[in-house]
Amino acid sequence: MACPVLAQARDARASKPQAPAVQSVRFDDWFYRCANVKAAGGKDVQQCEVAQIAQVRQGDQNVNVLTLAIARTAPEAGKKASESDLLLTALVPLNVVLPTGLGLGTGGKELATIPYRNCNQAGCWAQQKLDARMLDALRKGTSGEAHLRLMNGQNINLKFSLKGLAKALAELQKPSKA
């Protein structure tokens, strides 16, 4: 499981067999998922995200090539939560050229080049706070593209669907029920 909420929920299940399951609702090609996780003070908090996993077929199995997750971040101290408090996390396979970053676009237009944060056994992670321009383009688009360069110099374009993203984001941005 590559998404932040799911990774934490999986870790919680590994240490506590009775941990609650991840709740998931599908919005076309996107999933809205929530899990209760332990906060720093030991209190249960609900963390939610909107996610999609793009796969390709290799031989007789599907392989994850791009995981996108959008989650709310805590608002800055003294500020009210806003639409700009959304963080995009992307996970791609290992062996990418890190300095080039991960390109993200829709409708043939480049939206951003996101720097890679780190790599681990799951792959390489890139994160960026979504601004109003990026959010608007992603909501209105029908398909998106991620651009990366492999260590062998090959440029890769990964396509993903934006169908259902606007509805899933609306669910994510509803006031918390907690």
pLDDT at residue 61 in the model: 93
Domain assignment present for residue 152? The answer is yes
The whole-angstrom separation of Cα 167 and Cα 63 is 27
Q: What is the pLDDT of residues 39-67, one digit of tens each?
A: 788 888 889 999 999 998 889 999 999 99
CATH number of the domain residue 57 falls in: 2.60.40.1880
Query: Does 6 have pLDDT greater than 60?
Result: no
pLDDT at residue 4 in the model: 55
Domain assignment present for residue 56? The answer is yes
pLDDT mean over 128-152: 95
Query: Does 99 have pLDDT greater than 60?
Result: yes
Domain assignment present for residue 11? The answer is no
Count of structural domains, the chain = 1
Domain assignment present for residue 125? The answer is yes
First vs last Cα of the chain: how many Å apart?
25
Domain assignment present for residue 69? The answer is yes
Enumerate the H helices of the chain as residue ranges. Answer: 4-15, 132-140, 165-172
Percent of all residues in the chain with a pLDDT value above 90, rounded to a whole number: 67
Q: What is the pLDDT of residues 100-126, one digit of tens each?
A: 999 999 999 999 999 999 999 999 999
Range of the domain at 104: 50-172
Query: Does 98 have pLDDT greater than 50?
Result: yes
pTM of the model: 0.82
Tokens linked to 39: 């906060």
Domain assignment present for residue 160? The answer is yes
Q: What is the mean pLDDT of the chain?
A: 86
The DSSP 8-state label assigned to residue 164 in this structure reads T
Query: DSSP for 92-113?
Result: E-S-B-GGG-EEEEETTEEEEE
Domain assignment present for residue 106? The answer is yes
If one compares 148 and 77, the residue with the highest pLDDT of the two is 148
